[in-house]
């Protein structure tokens, strides 16, 4: 694949390395055959689509539509990403960031998160009593702890230390979900924009049709977390990759998630999603076995695998796995009376997985819709 580098040319290159300007025009000498394409090509993608994680496509609603807010004067909204439901650039300053993120569960707890933020600016840790005594401010109907710290900001990865930075943050940590609104930037700017930040935090609200203001929801709690309302009749829709489908009546599209083309959420805790992975990603049998094991049913017997019903997905007849049992998630929690429907379209270049999990009754009830959804899938 990669042309091997002969020893002698490498030796000469080394000896002549000091004077090796290849000039203003150069033939591309390197060529190789890769087993799959490098990255997803989106023809004529906009810079926003190319450089932002979850840039909205023409047919998908951006996260900003889920959560409404009053944009402070002089602040700019930038494309939301996988982690940032709302993503702003305070006062348009290139080094300032303000974003809202949501995590299912308590996200490690309030004390840990407050101290994580403080550590990013080199501030000393606070004990539980000090965290409990922090002032609070309204955030999506909750009273959030107001965290302030100043110092040298090292960010999430501990890289690019920036002196003279300040952090203003609001954090809510509850078992059903955690909300974090974080504003960082040069200290002078953050101080100057403090009132605008607090006003912005107070203005955050769920858009009409996305739950009752003041409720914090998480996956599996039966609430709608996504930008789409439930469809009353089948509707054509698509993902930024160009994948198209018809959303069955009653299905509700959820927000963009890491690694997923699309997620649908259901009352009662069910979800259906489409994932695309590069390569064969474990193969057909391996993935169906893994799903069966997740439901506590062990690997499929050869005879059971051979007799699975098939459905045409993206021009390929693929077996449909339907299994019921106790679902054990990655967090080790087990849910009983669960159902799973899944198909895997395995190709050399990339593979597509469609998986529906939830209470067994829900999964059974949605089986026909699931099959209709599968057959409606199309690629550009």
**185: which strand partners?**
166
Q: Does 314 bind other proteins (CB under 8 A)?
A: no
- Asked if 50 is part of the footprint of other proteins (rule: CB under 8 A), the reply reads yes
Residues 74-113 touching other proteins, rule: CB under 8 A, are 76, 78-79, 82, 89, 91-94
**Binding segment (CB under 8 A) for other proteins, from list 130-138, 154-162, 231-239, 370-378:** 154-162
Question: Could you say which of 71, 126, 277, 311 contacts other proteins (CB under 8 A)?
Answer: 277
Cα angle for residues 369, 372, 373 (degrees, 5° grid):
85
Among 172, 77, 183, 179, residue whose Cα is nearest residue 120: 183
Out of 59, 143, 203, 258, name the contact with other proteins by CB under 8 A.
258
How far apart (Å, rounded) are the C-alpha atoms in residues 363 and 337?
Answer: 11
**Nearest by Cα to 345 from 270, 271, 265, 261:** 261
Q: Which of 137, 194, 257, 299 binds other proteins (CB under 8 A)?
A: 257
> Which of 129, 160, 302, 315 touches other proteins by CB under 8 A?
160
Helix (H) or strand (E) holding 203: helix 194-203
Establish if 333 lies at the interface with other proteins (CB under 8 A). no
Q: Which residue, 28 or 208, is less far from other proteins as judged by CB?
A: 28
Residue 163 sits in the site that holds other proteins (CB under 8 A):
no
CB-count burial class (<10 Å; 0-12, 13-18, 19+) for 257: middle
CB 17 → other proteins: shortest distance, Å? 7
Nearer to other proteins, 17 or 309 (CB): 17
Q: Smaller CB distance to other proteins: residue 309 or 332?
A: 332
Q: Based on the shown chain and the rule CB under 8 A, indicate whether residue 331 belongs to the binding site for other proteins.
A: yes
Give the span between the Cα atoms of 118 and 170, in whole angstroms: 12
With a CB cutoff of 8 Å and minimum separation 6, the contacts of 251 are: 230, 231, 264, 266, 272, 369, 373
Q: Which of 164, 329, 337, 361 binds other proteins (CB under 8 A)?
A: 329
The least distance separating other proteins from the CB of residue 375, rounded to whole angstroms, comes to: 22
Identify the residue among 129, 159, 233, 307 touching other proteins (CB under 8 A).
159
The whole-angstrom separation of Cα 261 and Cα 244 is: 10
| Other beta carbons less than 10 A from residue 208's beta carbon | 9
Residue nearer to other proteins on the CB measure, 93 or 194: 93
Q: Which of residues 197-226 bind other proteins (CB under 8 A)?
A: none
Q: Which of residues 10-39 bind other proteins (CB under 8 A)?
A: 10-11, 13-14, 17-18, 20-28, 30-39
C-alpha closest to that of 77 among 53, 51, 99:
99
The CA distance from 293 to 220, in Å, is 21
Q: CB-based contacts of 272: which residues, under 8 Å, 6+ apart? A: 251, 263, 264, 266, 354, 355, 356, 357, 366, 370, 373
With CB under 8 A as the contact rule, the residue among 132, 259, 301, 361 that binds other proteins is 259
User: Is 52 within 8 Å of 42 (Cβ atoms)?
Assistant: no
Closest approach of other proteins to the CB of residue 21, in Å:
7
Closest CB to other proteins among residues 288, 323: 288
**Residue number, 250 or 305, with CB nearest to other proteins:** 305
For residues 186 and 202, which CB has a smaller minimum distance to other proteins in the complex? 186
- Quote the least distance from Cβ 258 to other proteins, whole Å: 4
CA end-to-end span of the chain: 29
| Binds other proteins by CB under 8 A, chosen from 105, 269, 282, 296 | 282
Residue 285 engages other proteins in binding (rule: CB under 8 A) = no
Query: If you write DSSP's letter for every residue of 295-324 in order, what string do you get?
Result: TT--SPPHHHHHT--EEEETTEEEEPEEEE
């Amino acid at each position: 694949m990669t042309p091997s580098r002969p020893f002698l040319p490498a030796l000469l290159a080394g000896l002549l390395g000091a004077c090796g300007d290849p000039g203003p025009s150069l033939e591309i000498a390197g060529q190789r055959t890769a087993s799959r394409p490098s990255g997803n090509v989106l023809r004529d993608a906009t810079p926003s689509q190319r450089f932002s994680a979850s840039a909205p496509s023409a047919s998908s609603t951006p996260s900003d539509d889920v959560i409404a807010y009053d944009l402070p004067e002089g602040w700019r909204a930038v494309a939301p990403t996988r982690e940032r439901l709302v993503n702003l650039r305070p006062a348009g300053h290139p080094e300032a960031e303000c974003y809202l993120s949501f995590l299912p569960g308590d996200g490690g707890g309030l004390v840990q998160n407050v101290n994580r933020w403080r550590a990013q600016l080199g501030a000393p840790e606070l004990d539980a009593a000090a965290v409990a005594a922090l002032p609070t401010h309204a955030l999506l109907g909750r009273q959030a702890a107001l965290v302030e710290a100043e110092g040298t900001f090292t960010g999430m990865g501990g890289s690019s230390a920036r002196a003279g930075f300040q952090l203003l943050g609001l954090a809510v940590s509850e078992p059903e979900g955690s909300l974090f609104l974080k504003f960082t930037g040069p200290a002078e700017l953050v101080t100057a924009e403090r009132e605008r930040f607090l006003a912005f935090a107070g203005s955050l609200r769920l858009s009409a049709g996305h739950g009752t203001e003041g409720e914090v929801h998480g996956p599996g709690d039966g609430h709608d977390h996504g930008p789409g309302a439930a469809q009353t009749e089948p509707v054509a829709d698509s993902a930024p990759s160009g994948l198209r489908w018809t959303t069955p009546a009653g299905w509700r599209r959820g927000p963009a998630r890491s690694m997923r083309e699309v997620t649908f959420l259901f009352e009662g805790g069910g979800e259906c999603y489409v994932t695309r992975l590069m390569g064969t990603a474990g193969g057909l049998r391996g993935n169906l076995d893994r799903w069966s094991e997740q439901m506590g049913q062990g690997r499929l017997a050869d005879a059971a695998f051979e007799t699975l019903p098939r459905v045409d997905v993206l021009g390929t007849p693929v077996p449909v796995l339907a299994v019921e049992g106790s679902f054990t998630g990655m967090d080790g929690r087990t849910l009983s009376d669960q159902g799973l429907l899944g198909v895997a379209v395995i190709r050399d270049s990339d593979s597509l997985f469609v998986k529906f999990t939830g209470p067994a009754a829900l999964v059974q009830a949605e089986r026909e819709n699931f099959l209709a959804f599968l057959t409606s899938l199309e690629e550009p």
